[in-house]
């Protein structure tokens, strides 16, 4: 009969071997976090994008791209749905890929008046 110490050693060995075999199957960061980080860097500004750039977004064709351009400027990106530029379902597919930059963000903030 095996001693309790030998039994625990066997269990620990089994756990260790399972960790070695299973580790490559599970990445440290979930794929969605990696995708979100990559997408965040490539946000498309709906206030300055061209029709061709807008059409690269899923669900945006010629008609919606033209509506987006005609409806400018946007204070917030969800105005695409509020102003009925596009359906909510289409917006939900692209909302993490777009941004609505304001005019001062595009050209830089105006200089403040000098104090006298």
pTM, 2 dp: 0.57
Measured CA to CA, the distance from residue 25 to residue 22 in angstroms comes to: 5
pLDDT tens-digit readout, 16-74 = 887 777 666 666 655 555 555 555 568 999 999 999 999 999 999 999 999 999 999 99
Measured CA to CA, the distance from residue 2 to residue 11 in angstroms comes to: 13
- pLDDT band at residue 116, thresholds of 50, 70 and 90? very low
- pLDDT band at residue 114, thresholds of 50, 70 and 90? very low
What's the pLDDT at 75? 94
> What residue segments make up the domains of the chain, in order of their start?
33-107
Handedness of CA 80, 53, 69, 64 (dihedral sign): negative
Spatial CB neighbours of 44, under 8 Å, sequence gap ≥ 6: 53, 54, 56, 57, 97, 98, 99
pLDDT tens-digit readout, 63-96 = 999 999 999 999 999 999 999 999 999 999 999 9
Query: Which fold, 33-107?
Result: DNA polymerase; domain 1 (1.10.150)
Spatial CB neighbours of 98, under 8 Å, sequence gap ≥ 6: 43, 44, 45, 46, 57, 77
Handedness of CA 59, 74, 47, 32 (dihedral sign): negative
Closest CA to 85 of 103, 101, 73, 102: 73
Measured CA to CA, the distance from residue 94 to residue 108 in angstroms comes to: 26
């Amino acid at each position: 009969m095996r001693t309790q110490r030998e039994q625990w050693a066997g269990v620990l060995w089994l756990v260790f071997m399972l960790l070695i075999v299973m580790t490559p199957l599970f990445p440290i960061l979930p794929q969605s976090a990696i995708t979100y980080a990559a997408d965040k860097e490539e946000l498309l500004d709906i206030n300055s994008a061209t029709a061709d750039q807008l059409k690269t977004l899923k669900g945006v064709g010629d008609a919606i791209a033209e509506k987006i351009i005609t409806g400018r400027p946007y204070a917030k990106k969800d105005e695409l749905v509020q102003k009925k530029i596009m359906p909510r379902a289409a917006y939900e597919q692209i909302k993490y890929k777009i941004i609505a930059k304001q005019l001062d963000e595009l050209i830089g903030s105006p200089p403040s008046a000098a104090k006298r």
